[in-house]
Amino acid sequence: MKILGIETSCDETSCAIVEDGYRVLANVIYSQIDLHAKTGGVVPEVAAREHVLKVTPVLDECLSKANLTLDDLDAIAITKGPGLISSLIIGTETASVISYLKNKILIPVHHVTGHVYANFLSPMMKDGKPVEAEEPNIEFPILVLTVSGGHNEILLMTDHNEFQILGETRDDAAGEAFDKVARILGLGYPGGPKISKAAENGNKNAFDLPRSFLETGSLDFSFSGLKTAVLTEIKEYIRENFPDEELNNYEAISSKLPEQFKSDMAASFQEAVVDVLTEKLLQAYLTLKSSGTNIKQLHLAGGVSANTRLREMISQKVETLKKSGEINDVEVCYPKSLAFCTDNAAMIASAGYYVYMKNPKAFKAHSNITPTTSFDIF
């Protein structure tokens, strides 16, 4: 079954064609990063206007890469929400028009469900060369850490499209914290990759930043205190070294910070975020284990799952716990391509496939999808 995925929930215009939920025939992503770098973050109206301009060329490129026409498709999967409403509308309208014109089944997909299914995708090209796609090896129940700019959850996935939220952020999502701290440090947008790069030359123990674990047993997250702690350290440095500087002008203060200070702060901040994400995920695993639920796979999903230090720390801790006999044989998985971590339409097409396969009669052609900003969309 060949499904066209369309994703326009934030600042990526993406169309993809995925076969049987995992074979990525094409995944075209037009990122608006350069546009939003000027403002240091996404301006919703600007993003929506750019989606209008790019959605048709991106669709054409996707069909041409897959060597298919709209008539060859079996269905269209579209991000219904959550996301920026003006951006979502462009995708849902595009999908609805194709559904009417070409008599194609329309499948609404939750954006976060899409991120989860990024782990099921298999690329068909590697380093510019064609490769054999691998069918996903799925062993439910799966524990998923979703870490992106807008969302941060620990999910228990018991079957396709069956989720239980075990923990979520009470304020900023991990990616949002990366973006805000990068902005305060004057590193640019999006913050995740910039912090990660700066951290390579930094000392992760240079600053003693707080780790917020909340109440005993809670699997929720909170990153706003960490962001404030970074700001406090920066202001202290400026106060000591540039006593006449205006402390509320972030652009001015970041320009006064030495490169080594920025790298050390980036490394210390990244370590604090990764520490909390790792601890909470393993705490969720151990809590489930003690109540008789044996998790076979830990999945990392969303933009922050591209973070090398996060992957490394989780894998290392799992290995240590395995050796000590505290945890069973559990596999750590993350998307097979960095392009599947951040927003992309292939993950939406994959989620659409599995959602559809669970109940094919629930979906029709000639239907409209109303986008929504709400997390509880279905």
Q: Which does 19 bind (CB under 5 to 8 A by kind): Zn ion, ligand KG4, none?
A: none
Q: Which of 148, 278, 305, 372 binds Zn ion (CB under 5 A)?
A: 148
Q: Which is nearer to ligand KG4, 100 or 375 (CB)?
A: 375
Give, in degrees to the nearest 5, the angle at Cα 146 between 294 and 306.
110
Return the exposure string of 205-231: e unless at least 16 CB atoms fall within 10 Å of the residue's CB, then b. ebbebeebbeeeeebbbbbeebbebbb
Q: Is 366 left (phi over 0), alpha (psi -120 to 50) or beta?
A: left
Q: Which is nearer to Zn ion, 192 or 202 (CB)?
A: 192
Alpha-carbon distances, residue 183 vs 123, 199, 211, 256, 297 (angstroms): 33, 15, 21, 14, 35
* Minimal distance, residue 360 CB to ligand KG4, in Å: 28
Amino acid identity for residue 142 in this structure:
I
Task: Write each residue from 32 to 71 as x if it is in contact with ligand KG4 (CB under 6 A), else as -, in one continuous string.
Answer: ----------------------------------------
Matching residue, tokens 């699997």? 219
Amino acid identity for residue 16 in this structure:
A
Q: What token pair was written down for 175?
A: 């990616």
Q: Which does 14 bind (CB under 5 to 8 A by kind): ligand KG4, Zn ion, none?
A: none
Matching residue, tokens 């409209």? 368
* Minimal distance, residue 50 CB to ligand KG4, in Å: 16
Rounded CA separation 51/54 (Å):
5
**Considering the rule CB under 6 A, would residue 82 count as an interface residue with ligand KG4?**
no
Interacting span for ligand KG4 (CB under 6 A) from 71-79, 155-163, 185-193, 248-256:
185-193
Q: Which is nearer to ligand KG4, 176 or 220 (CB)?
A: 176
Return the exposure string of 179-193: e unless at least 16 CB atoms fall within 10 Å of the residue's CB, then b. bbbbbbbbbbbbbbb
Q: What token pair was written down for 355?
A: 């959602």
Binders of ligand KG4 in range 95-134 (CB under 6 A): none
**Considering the rule CB under 6 A, would residue 230 count as an interface residue with ligand KG4?**
no
SS3 content of the chain, % helix, strand, coil (to 5): 45, 20, 35
**Considering the rule CB under 6 A, would residue 148 count as an interface residue with ligand KG4?**
yes
Q: Which does 91 bind (CB under 5 to 8 A by kind): ligand KG4, Zn ion, none?
A: none
Amino acid identity for residue 256 in this structure:
K
* Minimal distance, residue 231 CB to ligand KG4, in Å: 18
Strand order in the sheet with 331-333: 162-168, 152-159, 142-147, 297-301, 331-333
**Considering the rule CB under 6 A, would residue 196 count as an interface residue with ligand KG4?**
yes
Binders of ligand KG4 in range 289-308 (CB under 6 A): 302-304, 306-307
Q: Which does 371 bind (CB under 5 to 8 A by kind): Zn ion, ligand KG4, none?
A: none
Q: Which is nearer to ligand KG4, 153 or 343 (CB)?
A: 343
Binders of ligand KG4 in range 318-377 (CB under 6 A): 342-343
Q: Which does 192 bind (CB under 5 to 8 A by kind): Zn ion, ligand KG4, none?
A: ligand KG4
At residue 104, what are phi and psi to the nearest 5 degrees?
Answer: -110, 145
- Which residues neighbour 337 within 8 Å (Cβ) at sequence distance 6 or greater? 121, 123
Q: Which of 7, 11, 176, 343 binds Zn ion (CB under 5 A)?
A: 343
Q: Which does 193 bind (CB under 5 to 8 A by kind): Zn ion, ligand KG4, none?
A: ligand KG4
**Considering the rule CB under 6 A, would residue 193 count as an interface residue with ligand KG4?**
yes
Amino acid identity for residue 247 in this structure:
L
* Minimal distance, residue 343 CB to ligand KG4, in Å: 4
**Considering the rule CB under 6 A, would residue 155 count as an interface residue with ligand KG4?**
no
- Please check whether residue 62 is in contact with residue 24, taking contact to mean a CB–CB distance below 8 angstroms: no
> Which residue ranges make up the site for ligand KG4 (CB under 6 A)?
10, 148-150, 175-176, 178-179, 190-193, 196, 302-304, 306-307, 342-343
